[in-house]
A = this chain, B = another copy of it.
Amino acid sequence: MKDVVVLGAGRVGAVIAADLARADGLRVRVADASAAALEAARARCGGRVTLERADLSDPAAVARLASAAQLVVGALPSRFGFAALGAVIAAGRPCVDISFMHEDARALGPAARAAGVCVVVDMGVAPGMSHLLAAHAVARLGGARRLRILVGGLPVERRLPFQYKAGFAPSDVIEEYTRPARVVEGGRVVARPALSIVERVEFAGLGTLEAGLTDGLRSLLATLDVPHMSELTLRWPGHYELMRAFGEAGLFSEVPLDVGAARVRPIDLLSELLVKAWTFAPGEEDLTVMRVEVESDTRRLEFDLLDRYDRASDTTSMARTTAFPCAIVARLLADGTLHAPGVFAPEELAGVPGLVARVLEQHRERGVHYREREVPPC
């Protein structure tokens, strides 16, 4: 038996824990600061986990939990991710992380190599499967000239005016709509205004979506040698036009404005107003849609994902598609398939023989289907 500790019992952490609790040979411990979150996670795991309340913003607490396990899964809020990962590496434990930290986790590579531990970061759906499949397709084509990742989490019910709900704060969504998008053009990294490209995309089973340029390439900017790369976020048609109007009205501004006697940042007021309209109701259905397009001079491969809320387990598609890649990689760390010391982005695992096929097969077992096809190049 191996001991694995899942740091964070949030919506994604709980689903990872439940997945690992079903594995033979793993004893799962879940840690979180919230007793309610821990109890919810235990219920989701059918009781087959132990719980520990701990302040995971404290690296010492993380180090203690990591030392008591043979494997660590990081599912913390992004602001705690980097410090926690540093503590895990210092404790000498392998780890898979989906905290999506703002910092560059690869800066911890030397420490991981010195400690002899294998660490995989950004191992969700996008980043995560997006990056793994991108590198896999590039290798299959023997090199590529163009990569696009299109991905979105959406409500099934399209309610006007927004046709959108999020699993996180509106201000974080709007940050995606405003942060300059780093893309690769002719081999060079350049920053383009977010949503400066918005185009229609047809998706079987959904119809027409809109894809807006965002800043989601992350590690691919450095790891993949493809001269044209971009990432776009998918929304129901009309959402971006409305968001553009909100932005042009000044509502996204972070500059404080005097309003009578008060002084307020427009983005803070807007975020406050949108919380209710943009939050999924309990049991409300979401879906996840992704397309990874990789093109060489002569061929084009595409991977499509369309996943939906699972009513049987009351699990959002967002949680399913984010948690499963992480849980699958945790198993590959546990069984020794992944063992090279260092900090790796998902795309750096694509070269491990048989790994992509195994990851896709394990997704299929969980009802998540990535469909590959070859289409004529543009």
Q: How far is the CA of A87 from the CA of B234 in the complex (A)?
A: 63
User: A147-162 interface mask toward B, CB cutoff 8 Å, 1 = contact, 0 = none?
Assistant: 0000000000000111
Contacts of A270 in B (CB 8 A): 249, 251
Q: Are B272 and A257 in contact (CB under 8 A)?
A: yes
Interface: A59 (CB within 8 A): no
Q: Are B264 and A277 in contact (CB under 8 A)?
A: no
Q: Are B245 and A257 in contact (CB under 8 A)?
A: no
Q: Which residues of A line the B interface, CB within 8 A?
A: 160-162, 241-242, 244-246, 248-251, 253, 257-260, 262-266, 268-270, 272-274, 277
Q: How far is the CA of A246 from the CA of B160 in the complex (A)?
A: 12
Q: Are B272 and A259 in contact (CB under 8 A)?
A: yes
Copies in the complex: 2
Q: Are B249 and A260 in contact (CB under 8 A)?
A: no
Q: How far is the CA of A265 from the CA of B248 in the complex (A)?
A: 20
Which of B161, B241, B244, B277 meets A244, CB within 8 Å? B161
Q: How far is the CA of A206 from the CA of B56 in the complex (A)?
A: 63
Tell me the smallest distance from the CB of A278 to a CB of chain B, in Å: 10
Q: How far is the CA of A253 from the CA of B251 in the complex (A)?
A: 15
Which of B161, B260, B266 meets A248, CB within 8 Å? B161
Q: Given A161-B248, A245-B161, does the pair A269, B266 have CB atoms closer than 8 Å?
A: yes
Which of B161, B257, B262 meets A249, CB within 8 Å? B161
Tell me the smallest distance from the CB of A147 to a CB of chain B, in Å: 32
Instruction: List 11 A–B pairs whose Cβ atoms lie within 8 Å, in order of A's numbering.
Output: A161-B241, A245-B245, A246-B249, A249-B270, A249-B273, A251-B270, A251-B273, A257-B269, A258-B272, A259-B268, A264-B269
- Which residue of the partner chain B has the closest CB to A159? B248
Q: How far is the CA of A260 from the CA of B259 in the complex (A)?
A: 14
